[in-house]
Amino acid sequence: MIDFAAIPAVQRIPLNTKFCTTADVLRLDLVHPVISGNKWYKLKHYIEVARQQEKNTLLTFGGAYSNHIVATAAAAEMAGFRSIGIIRGERPAQLSPSLQQAASNHMQLIFSSREDYRLKKIPDTLNLRPHDYFCIAEGGYGALGAQGVADIIMPLQEKYSHILCAVGTGTTLAGIVKSGSAAAIGISSLKNNTQLHNAVNDLLSTDMKNKFSILHQYHFGGYARHTPELIMFMNDWYRQTGIPTDFVYTGKLFFAFTDLLKQGHFSKSDRVLIVHSGGLQGNRSLSKGTLIF
């Protein structure tokens, strides 16, 4: 099992700029070779509560390329739970690499029509008894998920003036806001998701609401979309720093950071922490040779 209490490695990025004194990367991607970094921390408290409630099954929702599905399958197996993944859309002829990974961790995969998925229906044919299973929202969205992220960021907070992360559901960003007073900046990997700001606020207590910003101009076409410019950036970033990124979230995050740096967004005394939230398993859906790592 992953040691949730250990603080993951922090790597300093050499900067050839007069702006911003320090940029460090919190390497949550190193926590596990396959499973996405932030997802472990988001699952931590859900698993604790499921245990307290004496549930035997974790049930959650996601798409065919979901890092959350993969992480839930693996975490459930390690923690001694059965797991069920309700997957959006018809069963494909060939399972995606993410779903193959989840299946190898003994997750039961149930394919759900887009309409049923939207309504988050749990099929009656599963014959689940309500007191047996614990339901985790799509993407691990929720206050307990945010708390798990806050737990690891808290000890690092005072060293930094700004903390940047990638945003999907906004749970990780909410965790950063909860963890202290550094300026929290989220880079959205979704196109025009105007609901995100409210989704983050919903996870925060009144005194913390709106103490963050979300940048919407770095989506590269939208969720799970990419462009040659993004791929080129990801390869360059790897050459410069040795840090691999994924094309759904963290490639866009580091691109945004370098762009903000160029634009003079940070000042001379700023100390920036960038949270590498993992997700590298998602790159397996790119054709071979696209990335140099």
Ligand X SMILES: *Cc1c(COP(=O)(O)O)cnc(C)c1O
Query: Per CB under 6 A, does 179 bind ligand X?
Result: no
188 three-state secondary structure? strand
Site for ligand X in 68-127 (CB under 6 A): 68
Binding region for ligand X (CB under 6 A) out of 7-15, 114-122, 234-242, 276-284: 276-284
User: Looking at this protein, which amino acid is placed at residue 100?
Assistant: Q
Q: Which residue is nearest to ligand X (CB)?
A: 279
State the minimum distance, in angstroms, from the CB of residue 56 to ligand X. Answer: 26
Nearer to ligand X, 21 or 235 (CB): 235
Query: Per CB under 6 A, does 171 bind ligand X?
Result: yes
State the minimum distance, in angstroms, from the CB of residue 155 to ligand X. Answer: 19
Query: For residue 232, what are its two tokens?
Result: 């080129």
Query: Per CB under 6 A, does 67 bind ligand X?
Result: yes
Binding ligand X by CB under 6 A: which of 274, 279, 283, 291? 279
Query: For residue 213, what are its two tokens?
Result: 């910003």
Binding region for ligand X (CB under 6 A) out of 7-15, 81-89, 254-262, 277-285: 277-285
Query: Per CB under 6 A, does 148 bind ligand X?
Result: no
Query: Which residue(s) pair with 184 in the sheet?
Result: 163, 212
- How many whole angstroms separate alpha carbon 205 and alpha carbon 211? 11
Query: Per CB under 6 A, does 167 bind ligand X?
Result: yes
Query: For residue 122, what are its two tokens?
Result: 């749990």
Binding ligand X by CB under 6 A: which of 60, 83, 172, 179? 172
Alpha helices in the chain (DSSP H): 37-52, 67-79, 97-104, 114-118, 143-153, 171-179, 196-201, 228-241, 250-262
- How many whole angstroms separate alpha carbon 61 and alpha carbon 73? 11
Binding ligand X by CB under 6 A: which of 38, 60, 96, 101? 38
Do 275 and 172 touch, CB atoms closer than 8 A? yes
Query: Which residue(s) pair with 273 in the sheet?
Result: 24, 163
Interface ranges with ligand X (CB under 6 A): 36, 38-39, 67-68, 139, 166-173, 246, 249-250, 277-279
